[in-house]
Amino acid sequence: MLKKIFRPSSHDHGFTLVEMIGVLAIIAILIALLLPKVFQLIASSNARSLAAAVRTYETAVTAYFADVGSVYPLNVTGVPTAEATGNSATATSLAARLTLDMSDPLNTGANQWIRFRGPYTEKFNSANSPGMGATILLPTAPAIALGTATTGTNIGWDLKGDDGNSDLATGSQVAYLQITGVTLGDAEEVDAIFDLGIGATAAQRQLRGRVKYDTGTSQLFIYLAHQ
């Protein structure tokens, strides 16, 4: 009696071309569905990291103000003076002053320096923005006139978020963060943390509340404190 010879089916040699195309199509669909969620999670994580840093800087500025009586950085003679660059590499910026130890030789002891009790924060590196963006600056400058319409870059904030006009007193001292290289999506994530519920349209949300975004320059402006 002849034994039946076993012959493996063609499927034992691997996938056919049609099957491979089907598998690749399924993988492509899954990637298309998952990628937006992955990017959303990354953006949310970046926004939370930046928000945590913002709160740290806000606490530091508040403590500095309590001691010195101004949100402006002290100059060499101990006089609070507006400093618009906000770059931590500039010794006279508020970003640099907040990390200065009270025993540092830059503390001359004159005028308001005698009330200085730094450091107020461990570090501030303008070249390394936490969470998102290319650089982070901490400028100080006088506010625009009360009631003036806020723009993406002027020194005014509609903190109430009700009319798009600045709520800060004319000429008041303002300390704020200026973050460069921020995408609109990242800006919206940050805005949702600090200004949730402010603004009925995308354009309003970009200019109202503590967080402002300038689409022309891809910069984020976050209010910290004013006097």
Q: pLDDT (tens digit, 9 = 90+) per residue, 83-93?
A: 999 999 999 99
Mean pLDDT for 42-51 is: 83
200 located within any domain: yes
Q: How many CB atoms lie within 10 A of CB 153?
A: 13
Task: Check whether 43 has a pLDDT greater than 70.
Answer: no
Q: What is the pLDDT of residue 40?
A: 58
Please report whether residue 16 resides in a domain. Answer: no
Rounded Cα gap, residues 180 and 10, in angstroms = 59
Q: How far apart are CA 175 and CA 62, in angstroms?
A: 10
The pLDDT assigned to 128 comes to: 95
Number of folded domains in the chain? 1
Whole-angstrom distance, CA of residue 87 vs CA of residue 136:
8
Question: How many CB atoms are closer than 10 A to CB 193?
Answer: 16
Q: Considering the domain boundaries, does residue 85 fall inside one? A: yes
Name every residue whose Cβ is closer than 8 Å to that of residue 179 and which is 6 or more positions away in sequence: 50, 129, 132, 133, 135, 136, 137, 219, 220, 221, 222
pLDDT class of 14 with cuts at 50, 70, 90: low
Q: Which residue has the higher pLDDT, 127 or 3?
A: 127
Q: Supply the pLDDT for residue 220.
A: 98
| AA identity, residue 202 | A
- On whether residue 188 sits in a domain, the answer given is yes
Q: What is the mean pLDDT of the chain?
A: 90
Asked if the structure places residue 170 within a domain, the reply is yes
Q: Is residue 28 situated within a structural domain?
A: yes
Can you give the pLDDT at residue 22?
76
Rounded Cα gap, residues 4 and 44, in angstroms = 64
Containing structural domain, residue 29: 21-226
Compare 28 and 7 and report the one with higher pLDDT.
28
pLDDT band at 24 (very low <50, low <70, confident <90, very high): confident
Q: How far apart are CA 27 and CA 30, in angstroms?
A: 5
Query: CA torsion, points 78, 79, 85, 89, in degrees to nearest 10?
Result: 0
83-136 pLDDT, tens digit per residue, is: 999 999 999 999 999 999 999 999 999 999 999 999 999 999 999 999 999 999
Residue 108 lies in a domain: yes
pTM exceeding the 0.85 threshold for the entire prediction: no
The answer to whether position 180 is within a domain reads yes
Q: What is the predicted pLDDT for the residue at 102?
A: 94
pLDDT interval class at 17 (50, 70, 90) = confident
Q: Are 183 and 218 in contact (CB under 8 A)?
A: yes
Name the token pair of 149: 């319409």
